Amino acid sequence: MAATSGRSHLYPNVLNRENGTKTINGENDNEARMDLLRNVVIDHHRNNVKQRHKSGDLTPNDAGPIDGSVNKSAVPWYKKDFTENSLEDDVNKSQNSWSAADQQLAQDVSSTAVLTSRVGEEIEDLEITEIDRGNWSGRFDFLMSLLGYSVGLGNVWRFPYLAYSNGGGAFLFPFIIMFILLGFPLMFLELSFGQFAALGPAAIFDRICPLLNGIGHAMVCVSCMVAFYYTVIIGWAFLYMFKSFASELPWERCHKDWASERCYSHKDAADCTATNGSVYYLQNCFNKTEVERLNISSLAHNKSDRAPPAQDYFERDILGVTESIEDIGGLQWQIVLCLLLTWTLTFLSLSKGVKSVGKVVYFTALFPYVVLTILFFRGVTLDGAKDGIIYYLTPKFDKLIVAETWVKAAVQIFFALSPAWGGLITLSSYNKFHNNCFKDSLIVGVGNVCTSIYAGFVIFSIVGYLAKELETPIDTVVDEGPGLAFIVFPDVVTRLPIPPLWSFLFFFMLITLGMGSEFALLETVMTAVQDTYPPLRQKKVFVVLGVCVFGFLGGLVVCTEGGMYVLQLMDTYSASFAVFIMAILECLIIGWIYGADRFLRDIETMIGQRSKFWHYFFIFFWKFLTPATLIFLLLFNLVDYKRMSYKKKPYPVWAELLGWFMTFIPVLVIICMGIWRFYRSPKEKTFVMKLKKMLHDTPKWGPASKIPRSDSSLDIEGGKSRIVTNPGFTTTGNETRI
């Protein structure tokens, strides 16, 4: 370059590369290249504008502002002046009319790979540096995290109960149908959504549909509320696991400090009846003479009013359950300590981001399958296991014509895969751009369904054994939720050889199942914080610490003596109706506002071209079938709503109102943030124009990867999307972005 001062004579704010790599403003070499590119194009544009003014085919407003900083927002003229490929072609063609100095500058620019595919990569490098979020170390890290998130406690303690109570083997048919109609389409939508933009839910919706940007924050609210009480359940499992380190489990016998009158220990009864004529009644052993004198023989054999020690131990010793939610009671300190342990392990696992948790999840995702398999082979060898499995699989086809059966199948698959909670978007946002998220959706979705069915075999083989031991019908033994995990199964292990071993394995499995889901819930919250405030990415440890401390303090209310009432309330309302609403809005955005066909072409830039059937399948589901199913579920659950109760005791009105408030927190977030975003947006000529602009994606929408943004279907012509292959440049409508 003909510059003796080391500074370009054409662009005095840029230093010559031969004399240094810093600009006057202290910019680095990459920033200087960016500056060169934009100044070259701006100068070319000035000449182009003058010629078009002379010819009369350009009004003064068409050119737009062209002076200013090199920031994208400061050079918006290209939005109206250039279409696909025109920018590169015009600049290259105009080189013939440049001066010798301009030609030299062009050579310098060319040497830095400006206006080539390489510059696209270099510019993307700059963007990546600015939004560095980290990535999974490998594809299997993501796969294991996704499996750990979707396969949780509900697969073990909820699905078996739903299956037996809604048609047995016949329930598998609506369950699989709802996976195809509802679960898989939503799962694939969210995984591809997060992977394409490499953003968590709190940031991604602001780019694709600013008016509904509150959806992402609402998802974070749901994940946050669920994480509060989910860790308490994990804390219970930790406590039971620690209690298993004993020669005799504490719930094997009725101990007078916590046992009720109904408590009946089969071990105490066996020891008592070993003596001829003795009878075990009200935790006392009566000899033959006392039995005849007190006439208690018939009472002692009444099995309808018995409670296993495991039930009293859980409700009266571990939880100390009060009479109602109005009597919240004090803290149960052993649960508090286990809750602290849970949050500490969560902090250690998440403190270094997805790369650290990506290693932990290999254990938390796979170990439950090891334990389930051990329990399966032990269960099927027990006396009565066959009866339990037959009861589980025997189809009751009359249930298939009952709407409630289909609704429960849909609700179960919906909450098993957890779409609209933010976790799927968050986990996939750390994927490599070309990861095959379609294959991942299939693997984890089908794996989730199979795990639920497999867990049913394990649970019902054990329940069949317990029913035979108690000489009672199976339907009086089976339970769901905490009742199954902390009452039925602990009672079963006391009847097996080496009870502490089976107890330890089972509760350790619950811990790993819970932790796998908890990691994703917390990662959703932390990703939202870091995407909203990018400087905090450099202080990830403090973000994790803050979230964990906040979560621990929030979970203390569930550690009280009335905590079980609070947990049931949160479990019922925190992730129910609002989640359906968010999923419907997701389908509205992707299917109708952004365009299902357009989004599918974006997906093809990541995973390769697919068949027409593949296109039509997802277009039909995302636009019509899946949202219609969600609307039906929402309305059915509202119409079929029943008052909240626990142990057949209805909740007070104020508690139910509190529950509904929790339900509507995410909905209020969506509404309030939409109003605020609309109010803060730039003015337009009419209300309709402003609304239309707020409903459509912004210039920031697109893949945040080293693959040029133009590889995605962000170029729209005639309302239809098509893949653009112009490297380094991206067009949206008639807009060209550098």
For residue 257, give the amino acid letter: D
436 annotated ligand-binding residue: no
Strands (E), 257-387: 279-281, 284-286
The Cα 627–Cα 621 span in angstroms is 8
Residue 326 structure tokens? 């109005």
DSSP string, 569-587: HHHHHTTSHHHHHHHHHHH
Residues in CB range of 600: below 8 A, 6 or more apart: 610, 614, 615, 618, 619
Exposure on the CB side of residue 297, measured as CA atoms within 13 A = 10
Burial 291-327 (b: 16+ CB within 10 A, else e): beeeebeeebeeeeeebbbbbbbbbbbbbbbbebbee
341 annotated ligand-binding residue: no
148 annotated ligand-binding residue: yes
Burial 379-394 (b: 16+ CB within 10 A, else e): bbebebbebbbebbbe
85 annotated ligand-binding residue: no
Distances (CA, A) of 438 to 200, 332, 365, 603, 707: 19, 46, 20, 9, 19
The Cα 136–Cα 357 span in angstroms is 9
**Beta strands at 735-737 and 730-732: parallel, antiparallel or unpaired:** antiparallel
Is residue 419 packed enough to be buried (19+ CB in 10 Å), middle (13-18) or exposed (0-12)?
A: buried
Contacts for 393-396: CB closer than 8 Å, 24+ residues apart:
393/168, 393/169, 394/168, 394/169, 395/167, 395/168, 395/169, 395/170, 396/167, 396/168, 396/170
Residue 696 structure tokens? 């459509």
> Do 695 and 712 contact (CB within 8 A), yes or no?
no
513 annotated ligand-binding residue: yes
The Cα 559–Cα 293 span in angstroms is 47
461 annotated ligand-binding residue: no
- 20 sits in the region (left: phi over 0; alpha: psi -120 to 50; else beta) called left
Cite the annotated binding site by residue number.
148, 151, 155, 448, 513, 517
Cite the annotated binding site for Na(+) by residue number.
148, 151, 155, 448, 513, 517
